[in-house]
Amino acid sequence: MNILSINIRGVTGSGKSDWVRKLKKDWRFSFLGIQETHQAGLPDQFWNSFWDRSPMEVVTVDAVGRSGGMACLWDPGVFSVDNVVKNQNFILITGRVKGVDIVLNLLCVYAPNDPGRRRLLWANLINLKPHFSGVWVAFGDFNDVRYKEERVNSIFDSLAASAFNDFIHTMGWLEYPLSGGNFTCISGHRDVKLSKLDRFLVCDDFMNKWPLAKVNVLPKGLSDHCPIFLSCINSDYGPPPFKFYNSWLDVQEVNRVITRAVGEISTIENGVVALANVLRLIKSKLKEWKERSRVIEEKDAIVLRKTLADLEKMAEVARLSEEEKKIRLNFTSKLKEMEVKKNQRLAAKGSDQMVEIWRRQFIFFSSRG
């Protein structure tokens, strides 16, 4: 089973659900742990927009005011739940993975900012663990680092780190090495602050069962925390099918592609057959346009991400110059704007317009036939 964990810093922000849904498509996880929802009283139906069309179940912990809040979403066809324990700072879900004869305890954590409250949380979890048999996977935002090297441009609290390491040792947990980055929280405006606050911790039995599992740090996207992804299986689902996104209706080039495609049909013998031929040609032309647009957009995004990654690497060893700080702020803003616009374009705001376009084309060709 693949698991994604993310401190989302508010689930109602612009493009957040589209961003997570795209992560679901790209990474094929069947369990999702979200920290810092910043919301209370959300209906279960709200979480459908964070998932794909596969079945989904959800358990939540309400935020207190605008602070905290968690949600766990999963595919019941992959993971069947036996028990749930909820606390303001964690959700423990016990169940079984289909085809795997073990009990799995999944612990989603959002630790408090205050060191004293974190130590209390560690003590509560230590007391809770003996009551649940099976293997353990703990993940989320622990708001602590283990070593000084896991912080850059922020204060290292040795006492808090010692308490955190003692907690991990007492629980008997191990940690997979990270791929894709050394830090999971990248914040700050002028001085880049880097920390490894988010992580996966597993018991010895889990690591023996999945010794080749990997933890990837994904791009931070619409939060200052990077999503982290635990992969226990490798699957190749082949190329994705062709889709028409509603957002394309707002792109002038798409209108021109459709108009030219309609114009290439010169003879009509039957209105329904003609409509099918037009739609088939539109699909072919849109594929060509989509590929051209994708290449241009990806090149721009690659340049922005590479420059930001280079600057953040530089910040690990030295302070950035004023000009470099300006470049980072500018490129961060541009990349975020690109991501937000991309997510907004994917929203289903143009479906009624598309239906109307096709309805008019059908009436037109039927009358000609």
Over residues 113-162, the pLDDT tens digits come to: 999 999 999 999 999 999 999 999 999 999 999 999 999 999 999 999 99
Nearest CA among 67, 107, 110 for reference residue 84: 107
pLDDT of residue 137: 98
- CA atoms of 318 and 153, how far apart (whole Å): 10
| CA distances to 7, 89, 119, 148 from 113, in Å | 14, 11, 11, 18
What pLDDT was estimated at residue 368?
45
Instruction: Evaluate if residue 105 carries a pLDDT over 50.
Output: yes
pLDDT score at 241 = 46
Helices (H), the chain: 16-27, 115-128, 158-171, 204-209, 252-263, 271-317, 322-346, 351-368
Read off the pLDDT band of 175 (50, 70, 90). Answer: very high
Q: Are strands 135-141 and 103-110 parallel, antiparallel or unpaired?
A: parallel
Q: Distance between terminal CA atoms of the chain?
A: 54
Residue 168 confidence class, pLDDT cut points 50, 70, 90: very high
pLDDT band at 27; cut points 50, 70, 90: very high
CA dihedral 325, 330, 335, 338 (to 10 degrees): 170
DSSP 154-213: S---HHHHHHHHHHHHHHTEE-PPEES-S-SEEE-SSS-EEE--EEEEEEHHHHHH-TT-
pTM over 0.75? The answer is no
Average the pLDDT over each of 114-128, 184-198, 327-341 and give the range with the smallest value.
327-341
- Dihedral sign computed on CA atoms, order 322, 152, 217, 119: negative
**What was the pLDDT predicted at 336?**
78
Exposed / middle / buried, residue 228 (Cβ in 10 Å: 0-12, 13-18, 19+): buried
3-state secondary structure of 52: coil
Contact indicator for 136, 210 with CB cutoff of 8 Å: no
d(CA 103, CA 94): 7
Query: In the predicted model, is pLDDT for residue 80 greater than 90?
Result: yes
| Residue 349: predicted pLDDT | 45
Domains, the chain, with CATH or none? 3-231 (3.60.10.10), 246-368 (no CATH)
